[in-house]
Amino acid sequence: MAIESFGTMFSRAILRHLSINGPTGAVELARELGTDPNTARRTLRNLEAAQLVEANLPVGERRGRTVAFSVNAERLDSLLIALKDYLSGR
């Protein structure tokens, strides 16, 4: 899970941006990171499925509303430890 979650440069860029700047919507993330909103939304869905990001609105209440995403710091820390353990052969 850790390797898959951190596997793309864009996923890492989103996690870094959210960690530094706090809750941000997909459109703003796309603009800040130089991609289209659909790519940002797709990546955010994957990060949300991995529980690395959390949204301020549940899935069923998002239609037509701006959703702000933030990093789940505890999950990020645990996956970073798992990645370190994997890479060091533990």
3-class secondary structure for the chain? CHHHHCCCHHHHHHHHHHHHHCCECHHHHHHHHCCCHHHHHHHHHHHHHCCCEEECCCHHHCCCCCCCEEECHHHHHHHHHHHHHHHCCC
Whole-prediction pTM: 0.87
Q: What is the pLDDT of residue 3?
A: 67
Q: What does the pLDDT profile of the chain (90 residues) look like in tens digits? A: 666 777 789 999 999 999 999 999 999 999 999 999 999 999 999 999 999 999 999 888 888 888 999 999 999 999 989 889 988 998
Reference 40, options 67, 10, 62, 4; nearest CA is 10
Structural domains in the chain, sorted by start: 2-87 (1.10.10.10)
| Cross-strand partners of 69 | 24, 55
